[in-house]
Chain A
Amino acid sequence: MNHALVHVLCFGNPWHGDDGFGLHVLRRLRDERRLPPHVHAFDAGTAGLNAIPLFEGCTKAVLVDAVKTGAKIGQLHRLSITGCVPAVDQQGMHGSGVENLLAALPAAYPNSTMPELVLIGAEIGQIAPFTTVLSPAVAAAITQAVNLVTLECTSRDR
């Protein structure tokens, strides 16, 4: 089967507790070597707009991040992102989060077809600064998140 290229972009600050959820998922993906050759996984950290090049050349991008929607902490969300993402008026590169990154993508690649975008997010609560340890509920979501990411990368309907 000829797989198109999939990029897995894991976001977060590993030093700020649950905010680093995406990077914990990345570590597990790498440790377990579960990603097939057509999948490239990246530590997008807190790159903001600097993560734009990580979308280059892929037909699908799976974003892994911590989210806050008011749901139960540790709950996983799968969000298929279609159409233009509205930007947040932050006016600062260091304040540009994933929303602004996605909003900037069409401008960054005006003559290219946008990749399919899927977000796998774990609901988090209060962020504990200066710790690499996840809260128990968020840590418990890693295994399922890894399964979901793997599924996204291997599903035939990509």
Chain B
Amino acid sequence: MTGGLRKIRMGMEVNRVEGDMEIQVELECGVVTDAWCSGTMYRGYEQILTGRDPADALVITPRICGICSTSHLYAATSALEMAYATPIAPNGTRIRNLCLMAESLMSDARHTFLMFAPDLCNAAYADHPLYEQVCKLFAAPFRGRIARETVEHSNRILQVVICFGGQWPHSTYMMPGGVTCPLDAARLRECLGAVEFYRAWYERSILGCATERWLALRSVEDFEEWLEEDPSHRDSAVGVFARYGRSIGLHKTGGGTPHLLSMGCYYDPEGWQPPFRDRLCLLPSGFYDGEGKRIEPFCEGKISEDVSHAWYLDPGRPCHPWDSRTVPARRAGGPQYSYAKATRYDDRVVQLGPLADLVVGCDPLITSLFQAQGPNTWLRQFARFHRPVRVLESMRQTVQELSAHLGEPTFEPCDPKRDGDGCGLINAARGSLGHWVKIRDGTIENYQVITPTTWNGSPRDAAGRRGHWEESFIGLELKDLENPVELYHVVRSHDACLVCTVHFLRPDKVTTFHV
């Protein structure tokens, strides 16, 4: 059924950091013609932190998210280090990187196989020739083979974080200057064991080939050849996803803004030291200009927050995070419709996530696919199949480096300063994450957190431009308004990791769909 003009409201949990979000779309002849993303919950971490000892950020900010707590801890610690201009023990950076990589593996697997892939088993595709195979792999809850294996393996890889942090999530083992845990051979053996266990699973079930073979794929042509090369490739999780996803048109939906942003990730252990001028990262930062089709250097000063359509006190102009405030001011009427701010880069709407990270990082395979297809639902998700292979390689290298520096410290004593400004920018699983702190007289004067969801799910700005998610729905055709699975795919491809609920508003009833 494809009705005429009618409104659909989708409610999903997100917010400035995490919580609730509603998406409202307008349809004409079953095609989305406009959309609004509304963050409906205010949590106020920024205000919780104001006036506190800066070290409190290391305990409080990891609680922002139960999936990305390592990312928040890393960003918060980096922000304080910049504010204090304190040196960092290279081994401390290596351990941080290793733990963040482990969290990335966990998140990519759980998102892909426990959240995105179950929608591929939607009854709308029951007649598809691959449907039965897809359900055997991905059916929820925990019915598909890959879904069950994901529970075990995503749990096991977190042992890397537990080795150093004592627990996951919400651990606080990073401090300005490094990490608080010692380094020893037993921990490294345990980490390497966890990495190899995960790699074996990834090769056996996800890729159907050795990681070395997969990493040899550098172009669209390489990938297509690989796909046809062996039944184990075609029938692997990525092989099935690739064939099935394209056959249902995922590569033609969810484009959104053409601009991509990645702030870089995994600081260079030796190079990332005061005065922190150049962003020396193992995964480089950059801005992909979707109009000029070129990658430009990333400049943190070009980030701004616009609250013209958000329920905050409006200074009347976009502000850099250091100067931004997060003072809620909900009021009826007016153009405001969200607790998410409209975050912009160089006054442009951008999208963040693994696709952006890998394109900006010049990954050969993803770049080739991106040049051929542009941003889309399929490629966004495909990037989450691909990224873990690279991360596994990086983890092995990092463990080797730590082994070579086994006797060296993991922590450099830090002398906290009474005043300072700092920002910590890293890539969480869903995209770049930033913490900005202003310290005055030994306490936090201002703290701002911008998550990838804030960027992707932003509302309109003062110029009336839609945020990325809003834009990604435009032109989407819904074949059955009773089962809008196309919307689910687009939303899920952005790793909105929370429970999503779709409400169809009609004059006579409200129907709720859990996605």
- Point out residues on A near B: beta carbons under 8 Å: 46-50, 52-53, 87-95, 100, 103-104, 107-110
Residues of A within 8 A of B500 (CB): 92
Residue of A46, A49, A92 near B498 (CB, 8 A) is A92
Assess whether A91 is in contact with B142, with CB atoms less than 8 Å apart: no
State which of B151-159, B233-241, B352-360 sits at the interface with chain A.
B151-159
The count of chain B contact residues (Cβ–Cβ below 8 Å) is 26
With A50-B169, A53-B158, A89-B140 as contacts: A94 and B497 at CB distance below 8 Å: yes
A95: chain B residues at CB < 8 Å are 498-499
What residues on B are CB-neighbors of A94 within 8 Å? 13, 66, 497-499
Write out, one digit per residue, whether chain B residues 118-148 have a CB within 8 A of any chain A CB (1) or not (0).
1000000000000000000000111000011
Verify B114–A108 contact, CB threshold 8 A: no
Q: Indicate with 1 or 0, residue by residue over B405-418, a CB within 8 angstroms of chain A CB atoms.
A: 00000000000000
Judge whether B151 and A93 touch: CB under 8 Å.
no
Is there contact, CB below 8 Å, between A91 and B152?
no
With a cutoff of 8 Å between Cβ atoms, the chain A residues found around residue B115 in the complex are 91-93
* B514 CB within 8 Å of chain A: yes
When chains A and B are docked, how far (Å) is the Cα of A140 from the Cα of B1?
Answer: 54
Given A50-B66, A50-B169, A109-B152: A90 and B514 interface contact (C-beta under 8 Å): yes
B515 touching A108 by the CB < 8 A rule? no
**CA A80 to CA B149, docked complex, whole Å:** 26
Query: In the complex, which residues of chain B have a beta carbon less than 8 angstroms from the beta carbon of A50?
Result: 66, 168-169
Q: Does B110 contact A (CB under 8 A)?
A: yes
Please give me the residue from chain A that is nearest to B145 by CB atom: A107
> Which residues on A sit within 8 Å (CB–CB) of B67?
93
Judging by beta carbons under 8 Å apart, are B514 and A107 in contact?
no
Q: Does B162 contact A (CB under 8 A)?
A: yes
Bound Cα distance A155, B515 (Å): 44
A54 to chain B, nearest CB (A): 10
User: A93-B498, A107-B148 are known contacts; what are 8 more A-B pairs with Cβ within 8 Å?
Assistant: A46-B66, A52-B151, A87-B141, A92-B497, A94-B497, A100-B142, A103-B142, A108-B155
| B interface, CB within 8 angstroms of A | 13, 66-67, 110, 114-115, 118, 140-142, 147-149, 151-152, 155, 158, 162, 168-169, 497-500, 514-515
Sort A-B residue pairs by CB-CB distance and give the 6 closest, nearest first: A87-B141, A95-B499, A92-B499, A107-B148, A107-B151, A94-B498
| Known A88-B141, A103-B142: A93·B152 in contact at CB below 8 Å | no
Minimum distance in angstroms from B153 CB to a CB of chain A = 9
In the bound complex, CA of A91 to CA of B114 (Å):
6
Our pick among B142, B162, B499 for the contact of A104 (Cβ within 8 Å) is B142
CB contact between B141 and one of A47, A89, A110 (< 8 Å): that residue: A89
Q: How distant is the Cα of A93 from the Cα of B147 in the complex, in angstroms?
A: 13
B140 touches A93 (CB 8 A): no
Shortest Cβ gap from B69 to chain A (Å): 9
Determine if A110 and B152 form an interchain contact, defined as CB atoms under 8 angstroms apart.
yes
Given the contacts A91-B140, A92-B500, A104 and B66 also touching, CB distance less than 8 Å: no
Q: CA of A94 to CA of B21 in the docked complex: distance in angstroms?
A: 14
Contact flag A91-B149 (CB < 8 Å), given A47-B66, A50-B169, A52-B155: no
B152 in contact with A108 (CB, 8 Å) = yes
Verify B499–A107 contact, CB threshold 8 A. no
Minimal Cβ-Cβ distance residue in B for A53: B155
B66, B148, B515: the one within 8 Å of A91 (CB): B515
- Measured between beta carbons, the chain B residues less than 8 angstroms from A49 are 110, 151
Residues B118 and A87 in contact, CB atoms below 8 Å apart: no
Among A90, A92, A103, the most chain B Cβ lie within 10 Å of the Cβ of A92
- Counting chain B CB atoms within 10 Å of each CB, the highest count among A47, A49, A93, A103 belongs to A93
Answer whether A107 and B142 are a contact pair too, CB < 8 Å, given A91-B514, A93-B67, A94-B13. Answer: yes
How distant is the Cα of A111 from the Cα of B515 in the complex, in angstroms?
32
Measured between C-beta atoms, what is the minimum distance from B230 to chain A in Å?
Answer: 27
Give the distance in Å from the alpha carbon of A53 to the alpha carbon of B157 in the complex. Answer: 11
Question: If A92-B497, A92-B498, A94-B13 touch, does A103 touch B152 (CB 8 Å cutoff)?
Answer: no
Bound-state Cα–Cα, A48 to B114, Å: 13
Bound CA span A107–B140, Å: 13
Q: Is the CB of A107 within 8 A of B149?
A: yes
Best-surrounded residue of B66, B115, B162 (most CB of chain A within 10 A): B66
Closest Cβ–Cβ distance, residue A50 to chain B (whole Å): 6
Q: Are B151 and A104 in contact (CB under 8 A)?
A: yes
Q: How far is the CA of A87 from the CA of B515 in the complex (A)?
A: 16
Task: Name the A residues within 8 Å of B497 (CB-CB).
Answer: 92-94
Q: Chain A residues with Cβ under 8 A from B148's Cβ?
A: 107, 110
Residues of the B chain whose Cβ atoms lie less than 8 Å from the Cβ of A52? 151, 155
Q: Given A94-B498, A107-B151, do A100 and B141 touch, yes or no (CB 8 Å)?
A: yes
Q: How far is the CA of A87 from the CA of B151 in the complex (A)?
A: 13
Smallest Cβ distance from B203 to chain A, in angstroms?
18
The contact sample of 28 A-B pairs, CB cut-off 8 A, is A48-B66, A49-B151, A50-B168, A52-B151, A52-B155, A53-B158, A53-B162, A53-B168, A87-B140, A87-B141, A88-B141, A89-B141, A90-B499, A91-B115, A91-B118, A91-B141, A92-B115, A92-B497, A92-B499, A93-B110, A93-B114, A93-B115, A94-B66, A94-B497, A94-B498, A95-B498, A104-B142, A107-B148
